[in-house]
Amino acid sequence: MLGKLQIISGKGGVGKSVVAAALAEQHAQAGRRTLLVSQDQLGKAHPIYGGTAGYEPTGVRTNLDISSLDAHAALTEYVKRKMTFSFAYLPILENPAVVRFLDALPLFNELLVLGKLYDLVDKHSPYESVVFDAPATGHCKILLNMPAVALDTLIAGPIYDNARKIHKLLTNPERVELLVVTLPEETPMREARELVEFAREEGAMACNQLIVNRYRAPRFSATERRQLAAWGESAAAASALVPVIEFDAQIADSHAAQADALDDLNLGTMRLPDLPPADPQTLVTSLLRHFP
């Protein structure tokens, strides 16, 4: 069975890792075997679940595994799977000079990372859903643009063939979608727009969902605000509440205006509330209550 891939990105600091974990847990709770995968976390503590993030998946919940992508680990896995005498090549791949050389090669990291994602959702994979906690906006654009660059610059060969199959996967809206996470603030919103427009260029990738995180919904209607202001004028004990309520209302108005500014993109918008500070796993659990 072919799995489905959700790619989660946005400007750094918007909470995309927490949102990605909540989406993954939602899939797992629905009974789908799910993998939450990040990049450049190999050997580091996972930002949500703690412990050491490994290349091989580790179970953290029923139906939910986590892992970290790594280009060199993916290359080693590929050599073991494809080459008859792989034991002869593996020491070479571990040589520090070779590692530095490979890192300097154009497309190397991007091709191997996307190739591993392709394997994670092919018919031989045990996962029905893969949620990719992707790099922040700029790096994500470079990553997702790699197959098109390879197809434009190469004529044939294994890299060309792999780029073609990855491009075919990424542009299949039934199997891959990009979800953009943002805050209701000018700079994150601008980067969100740029990422959506990049994904949609020439119908490149399905991107139909914008997730506005830490959104402050209005607590009072305009009529209620006027009534509260009048109350503050007539009752000294209530006068201190009026500027607090008005400040809160101004934040809500600003958040609504920022979110509404992207209406021309015709995106489905999920507005997640501004939750009290908590540990990452508690935030994930709290966000799940607000998912449709």
Q: Which two tokens stand for residue 62?
A: 């029923």
Answer yes or no: are the C-beta atoms of 15 and 185 closer than 8 Å. no
Residue 111: give the domain boundaries. 4-288
Q: Residue 222 is inside which H or E element, if any?
A: helix 222-234
Answer yes or no: are the C-beta atoms of 291 and 22 closer than 8 Å. yes
Answer yes or no: are the C-beta atoms of 9 and 181 closer than 8 Å. yes
Higher pLDDT, 99 or 244: 244
Distance, CA of 90 to CA of 61 (rounded, Å) = 34
Distance, CA of 225 to CA of 246 (rounded, Å) = 8
DSSP 62: T
Pairing of strands 176-182, 4-9: parallel
Stated pTM of the model = 0.87
Q: What pLDDT is attached to residue 186? A: 92
What percentage of the chain exceeds 90 in pLDDT? 40
Task: Judge whether residue 128 has pLDDT over 70.
Answer: yes
Identify which of 191, 251, 184 has the alpha carbon closest to the alpha carbon of residue 213: 184
Pairing of strands 58-61, 64-69: antiparallel
CATH code, domain with 273: 3.40.50.300
| Burial of residue 152 (number of CB atoms within 10 Å: 0-12, 13-18, 19+) | exposed
Please report the sign of the dihedral spanned by the C-alpha atoms of residue 43, residue 48, residue 50, residue 56. negative
pLDDT in tens, 14-72: 999 999 999 999 999 999 999 999 987 777 888 888 877 788 999 999 999 999 998 87
Task: Please count the other Cβ atoms lying within 10 Å of the Cβ belonging to residue 161.
Answer: 12
Identify which of 181, 53, 37 has the alpha carbon closest to the alpha carbon of residue 118: 37
Partner residues linked to 180 by β-bridges: 9, 210
User: At 96, is the pLDDT very low, low, confident or very high (cuts 50, 70, 90)?
Assistant: confident
What is the pLDDT averaged over residues 234-249? 79
Q: What angle do CA 3, 291, 33 make, to 5 degrees?
A: 25
Q: Report the range of poorest mean pLDDT among 113-122, 128-137, 196-205.
A: 196-205
Q: Residue 59 is inside which H or E element, if any?
A: strand 58-61
| Burial of residue 148 (number of CB atoms within 10 Å: 0-12, 13-18, 19+) | middle
Pairing of strands 58-61, 50-52: unpaired
DSSP 183: -
Using only C-alpha atoms, the chain has a radius of gyration, in whole angstroms, of: 23
The number of domains in the chain is: 1
Task: Judge whether residue 88 has pLDDT over 60.
Answer: no
Task: Judge whether residue 93 has pLDDT over 60.
Answer: no
